[in-house]
Amino acid sequence: MVAISKYHPISSILEAYNSGQRLFGENHVQELVSKHDALPTDIEWHFTGHLQRNKVKYIVPFVSLIHSVDSLRLLDEIDRQGGKCGRVIPCLLELHIANEESKYGFLPEELDNLLSSGKLKGYEHVSLRGLMCMATNTDDEEQIEREFGYAKSVFDDLKSRYFADDEGFCELSMGMSDDYSIALRHGSTLIRVGTKIFGNREY
Ligand SMILES: *Cc1c(COP(=O)(O)O)cnc(C)c1O
């Protein structure tokens, strides 16, 4: 479970840390960098928001997983910056499944095209670890079930065709406070929970 701490103060993160949580996620580069600098070094930081290419360099020195890779150009920049600091950056490809919720992410057929063309395989400083997705923000549980079920089938399909001999490609990041139990039933390996841990965010 990734504790999504965006907009929550250092004190709240420390409270979770003192209860044993070591894996935290943030959506904004500046906020992530300042929290990383202020908090214990054994925290593992994930980035889960929309990432602009010009900000990649600030998080690449320490981030342990980027969930939200949504373009080839972004992946190119992560690879370039990873090279500069001598790291291989674990990344998830963001899959667009929701109706309208997120503008971001690859369509399944786009991922298929990129993978079959070999374009996603040549990176030295990027390690592809799986997929991330967000369901539509709706009370309709059947729709959420359908979307997570679909995401799992896309994951399994891509895994079997392009990553069959790559044990590292194993993560399916899906499920948030309101839908993580549905996501877990559909094979999520990483749930991203904010509100259920920290309460409502104050923007
Ligand atoms: C904010 C956010 C979460 C956490 O949402 P909650 O509903 O507060 O659990 C999870 N994933 C992403 C990508 C987010 O932006």
Distance 137 CA to ligand 1 centre (A): 11
**Do residues 87 and 60 lie in contact, with contact meaning Cβ atoms separated by under 8 Å?**
yes
**The pTM is what?**
0.97
**Cα 148 to Cα 6, 49, 126, 170, 196, distances in angstroms:** 24, 19, 26, 16, 20
Q: Is 175 in the pocket of ligand 1 (CB under 6 A)?
A: no
Q: Which of 1, 2, 4 to mutate to test the pocket of ligand 1 (most atoms within 8 A of CB)?
A: 4
Whole-number pLDDT of residue 138: 92
Q: Is 27 in the pocket of ligand 1 (CB under 6 A)?
A: yes
Alpha carbon 122 to chain centroid, angstroms: 21
Distance 54 CA to ligand 1 centre (A): 23
Whole-number pLDDT of residue 202: 87
Helices 108-116 and 141-162, interaxial angle, to 10°?
10
Helices 10-18 and 29-38, interaxial angle, to 10°?
60
Which residue is closest in CA terms to ligand 1's atom 12? 48
Alpha carbon 129 to chain centroid, angstroms: 10
d(CA 16, CA 198): 9
pLDDT (tens, 9 = 90+) of the chain, 203 residues, equals 999 999 999 999 999 999 999 999 999 999 999 999 999 999 999 999 999 999 999 999 999 999 999 999 999 999 999 999 999 999 999 999 977 666 799 999 999 999 999 988 889 999 999 999 999 999 999 999 999 999 999 999 999 999 999 999 999 999 999 999 999 999 999 999 999 999 999 88
Distance 66 CA to ligand 1 centre (A): 14
Q: Please list the alpha-helical segments (H only) found in the chain.
A: 10-18, 29-38, 56-59, 72-84, 108-116, 141-162, 180-185, 195-198
Secondary structure class of 6 (helix, strand, coil): coil
d(CA 46, CA 29): 11
DSSP string of 80-138, one letter each residue: HHHHHTT--EEEEEEE--SSSS-S-SB-HHHHHHHHHTTTTS--SSEEEEEEEE---S-
Atom of ligand 1 nearest to the CA of 67: 13
d(CA 44, CA 46): 7
Distance 125 CA to ligand 1 centre (A): 27
d(CA 116, CA 33): 35
Atom of ligand 1 nearest to the CA of 6: 1
**Do residues 4 and 196 lie in contact, with contact meaning Cβ atoms separated by under 8 Å?**
no
Whole-number pLDDT of residue 158: 98
Atom of ligand 1 nearest to the CA of 27: 15
